[in-house]
Structure 1
Amino acid sequence: MPPIATSIPAALAARAQAQPDDVAYTFIDYDYDPAGTAESLTWSEVHERVQIIAGKLGKLGAPGDRAVILAPQSLDYVVAFLGAIQAGFVAVPLSMPMFRQHDERVSGVMADATPV
């Protein structure tokens, strides 16, 4: 039995190594089709994308900094969240404001979190 991963990034790397072609996440989008449109990522795809996000965040800040995740519900949201964790950032997940208009809740969190 493989050792138990001690962190989310370690668990992701272990899955990408052990099960690279298995589906990791599936998102079903109902915005444009009431029947839903499915999009999936494998463990290796998630791991690769997370590494890219972590690398880009690493150029903008340092471990311990905060990164606000503000995106529509999608696989990109999951990847961004995991990328922030991989970079050692504190991920601050927020939902998109309704109708993409100004939202005082989001503004308040942004001011309090002081993300990089």
Structure 2
Amino acid sequence: MQDFTDIINKLKAIGFKDTPFANIPKDRPMLVAGINFQHNFYNVHLHLTPKGSNVHLNNIFFRDQLRQNPTLAQEYDRLKKAAITSGIVEATAYNSYKSPFIQSVLQQRTPSINK
């Protein structure tokens, strides 16, 4: 398991805080912060993953798929908005709601390494 202590300390020094969410895997820590940009406030959830791990590679693959396919990105956006509109805002429930969509995209990656 990668030790993220130095990275976490540096992130905390610039304003990130421990996540308030439960059930975050110890090997993939999450920090939170808020940023004001052009009169808008944005919540930032920063997930640390070991470089080259399957989790890291899946995240990069999923991001790239959304960037390359605007229709897919719009579908994901609609799904997330539907969750919030229907009252699914607790982190674990929200992630569970999105999981089938994310898994369907990840199935396009080599099956033996997408878990």
**TM-score of the alignment, normalized to the shorter chain, above 0.5:** no
Bigger share in strand: 1
Larger RCO, structure (CA 8 Å, separation 6 or more): 1
Bigger share in helix: 2
What TM-score comes out, normalization by structure 1 length?
A: 0.30
